[in-house]
Amino acid sequence: MKARIAVLPGDGIGPEIVPQAVQILEAVAAQYGHTFEFHAADVGGAAIDKTGGPLPEETLKLAKESDAILLGAVGGTNWDGLVYEVRPERALLGLRERLGLYANLRPAKLYPILADASTLKPEVITGTDLLVVRELTGGIYFGKPKGIKKTADGERGVNTEVYTTAEIVRIAKVAFESARKRRKKVTSVDKANVLESSALWRRVVLDVAKGYPDVELEHLYVDNCAMQLIRNPRQFDVLVTTNLFGDILSDEAAMLTGSIGMLPSASLGSRVGAGGPVGLYEPIHGSAPDIAGRDLANPIGTIASAAMMLSYSFNLDKEAAAVERGIVRVLEQGYRTKDIRSPRAKVGAGGAPRVPVAPSNATGDGPPPEIIVGTKEMGRLIRQALTKA
């Protein structure tokens, strides 16, 4: 197949992790006989520095004309002083809005070999395999009125949580359809005991559920859900929720799997105006300015996002599975970026970091010793594992 892919590395670690995912896609193309055309453009702070705005028309045009979009991350301290309208993060909201990307899919699956890397006990997180379906173009991030206004005794900040029936129906359908391909359970998360918009959310989700009698539906208040995610994450299959709750809960879910650097996402929708499906793929983490430019970033979330692109945008499930197997293989060989090293490897005798030199242990039993590698080497190893898959 032929596909045109927009590549938007963005800021911070974005320009380090995105090339690793592009090289994986190139390797897939070479191995399976596909043609992927890559076109790069600026977004976020990088675009502000060049054009004055976070989402230049040229970038938006490229995104609209592409079959899929691969994005790194945006933002950083250089641009923190800017007003909200021109901050790097506005580019994400702009892309979602202008491309009609209303469904954000964030799988959080624990790789068994990384059970040790989470801050939670292995017996709690083992078996975690859930999908957060977050509504992406509505809710409090877009609702009006919004803004900060001067008042007689100071200032008043306002944001508005708004959901319509149509918005809830389409995201609920994505959740039920996704659950049908998984373990057939949907948990709808809201705050219906306090918020009217949530009361509507619950009513509409219940209505949509009537079309999916084979899928079990439960409702949880967001505060309880936050607690249940830590207490017993295995109970969840598909979680469907609003923009704000999904933003927070999916970061929490990320930590169950060890590191935010591991998790991919897909934002799906139908092109505004032009019709047809569109997908934007990005890791769930931000631009990580604290580690940018040091070859420390974990590229796996971005590489796994490329795998989601293969599956969701191009229907290349076999190729997507090969990339995922490549990731597992490299982890099973003991290779780790710093963020996913296990606590036992963090400090060795004498307090020194334990960085073994061989990829498998001498006796052959137990997990192999960990080898800490950088961003580029992790990418290279996964590419290498892919050709052997």
Based on the residue annotation, tell me whether 191 is a catalytic residue of this protein. yes
Q: Provide, rounded to whole angstroms, the least separation between the CB of residue 288 and ligand NAD.
A: 4
Nearer to ligand NAD, 212 or 341 (CB): 341
Nearer to ligand NAD, 76 or 334 (CB): 76
Could you give the CA distance from residue 172 to residue 167 in angstroms, rounded to a whole number? 9
Nearer to ligand NAD, 301 or 368 (CB): 301
DSSP assignment of 115-181 equals: GGGSSS-HHHHTT-EEEEEEE-SSGGGT-SS-EEEEETTEEEEE------HHHHHHHHHHHHHHHHT
Based on the residue annotation, tell me whether 237 is a catalytic residue of this protein. no
Contact yes or no for 309/279 (Cβ under 8 A): yes
Q: Provide, rounded to whole angstroms, the least separation between the CB of residue 193 and ligand NAD.
A: 29
Q: Provide, rounded to whole angstroms, the least separation between the CB of residue 102 and ligand NAD.
A: 17
Nearer to ligand NAD, 67 or 339 (CB): 339
Residues 6+ apart with CB under 8 A from 375: 13, 16, 17, 20, 295, 296, 297, 298, 299, 337
Based on the residue annotation, tell me whether 141 is a catalytic residue of this protein. yes
Nearer to ligand NAD, 105 or 215 (CB): 105
Nearer to ligand NAD, 291 or 310 (CB): 291
Nearer to ligand NAD, 67 or 282 (CB): 282
Could you give the CA distance from residue 339 to residue 370 in angstroms, rounded to a whole number? 12
Beta bridge partners of 133: 105, 240
Cα–Cα separations (whole angstroms), residue 6 to 2, 37, 265, 278, 305? 13, 8, 16, 12, 14
The secondary structure element, H or E, covering residue 65 is helix 57-65
Based on the residue annotation, tell me whether 11 is a catalytic residue of this protein. no
Q: Provide, rounded to whole angstroms, the least separation between the CB of residue 55 and ligand NAD.
A: 12
Would you say the C-alpha torsion 75, 79, 84, 85 has a positive or negative sign? negative
Contact yes or no for 71/10 (Cβ under 8 A): yes
Binding site for ligand NAD (CB under 6 A): 13, 73-76, 89, 92, 260-261, 282, 285-291, 297-298, 301, 339
Based on the residue annotation, tell me whether 365 is a catalytic residue of this protein. no
- 3-state secondary structure labels for all residues of 268-299: EEECCCCCCEEEEEEECCCCCCCCCCCCCCCC
The single residue of 116, 129, 251, 295 carrying the catalytic annotation is: 251
Could you give the CA distance from residue 93 to residue 100 in angstroms, rounded to a whole number? 10
Could you give the CA distance from residue 258 to residue 248 in angstroms, rounded to a whole number? 16
Could you give the CA distance from residue 359 to residue 377 in angstroms, rounded to a whole number? 14
Residues 6+ apart with CB under 8 A from 315: none
Contact yes or no for 342/117 (Cβ under 8 A): yes
Cα–Cα separations (whole angstroms), residue 61 to 175, 309, 354? 30, 20, 48
The single residue of 11, 42, 247, 339 carrying the catalytic annotation is: 247
Nearer to ligand NAD, 233 or 379 (CB): 379
Q: Provide, rounded to whole angstroms, the least separation between the CB of residue 13 and ligand NAD.
A: 6
The single residue of 80, 223, 290, 317 carrying the catalytic annotation is: 223
The single residue of 102, 141, 212, 335 carrying the catalytic annotation is: 141
Active-site residues, by number, are: 141, 191, 223, 247, 251
